[in-house]
Structure 1
């Protein structure tokens, strides 16, 4: 481990992804796939999911990363992400997954957002502005943490428009400057590339780009 001005860099060849969310894991594996590093998930190690009791993305990301790092005794990476809708005062925000219910029914979640927008009369595109947030937390067993924020602005559409790999709220989120929703894009189109042109498109790609630049030495990068 190396440390500069309080910020640490990873020297190891393995990173623990503190998540049981298959869609999130798939995206992190895609984005970090070029690293010369093995990724292992909390589920593969049999680690439990800690209660997400925080009221901010940072708090929940730290809870998940620190729980995994402490239990496994190694560096862990977590992601707390969500959809923030302007007309709904930032909701669902940190409670994004809760709107999908205990069975994570994302069709239900998207429908709830649309119902709430209908209640406040948000019909026109300029009334349906939203942003996706990805807050990554890197944690060490000794309690040290580092956070990296990625955001993507866009507009909510209805009805949902999806492709074969869409999950979460992707089918209703059309990123700024695009004519398709995230749900209609493949992984390369949604995220871009953190290793070269085209640049990062998604919120998660943008947080990962910051993470890699700050915490991964050149020897681990492609």
Structure 2
């Protein structure tokens, strides 16, 4: 390996590690990070929580960081578990904290491996690509909140896109933490009611977030996040007509 090749290989190493762990995890951990596993181990989890609350909190947050940071299956079940063990508010806070830290891991790995190179190419490009990049740069906060609030945007992609567009880390962390709170609250509340669900031998409604009384307010927040972009666009058009 030449000296020039070494920095490139090192730069891509974090992404390679994440990819390998994600593939291995998808093949080996799906049965362990599932709703059935939570149901079968609920009594043991409650007993451990009651005896070691702080340790349970730390272990839960670290597990969530690993799930998101390495794109492992089970993020939804982890959020349900947080609500089940700690209640809606505390469970949501611990889930959002773990998810944000895990997302930051992917963000930094992607930006270190590919972000700078892609940014340089987009800055040097002409035409529509450069215009899109410029538009996103001018409305970063709005776009960051939008991709977090819209349920249709996969969480993994919402971590990569900002990294490739050279979004500052603090903006990414703040928008991630605040933007995923609504969805986390919904599923944490479902998790908080799992005791009754387990007692009836039923399964929770995982599609709850797409029901109108929940989805519409979230979409409203998404539209609100784009309001500054709309106002800026309208103002810009008015300036051009003067």
TM-score, structure 2 as length reference: 0.26
Task: Compare the two structures and name the one with the higher strand fraction.
Answer: 1
TM-score, structure 1 as length reference: 0.28
Task: Compare the two structures and name the one with the higher helix fraction.
Answer: 2
Higher relative contact order (CA 8 A, sep 6+): 2
> Considering only CA atoms, is the larger Rg found in Structure 1 or Structure 2?
2
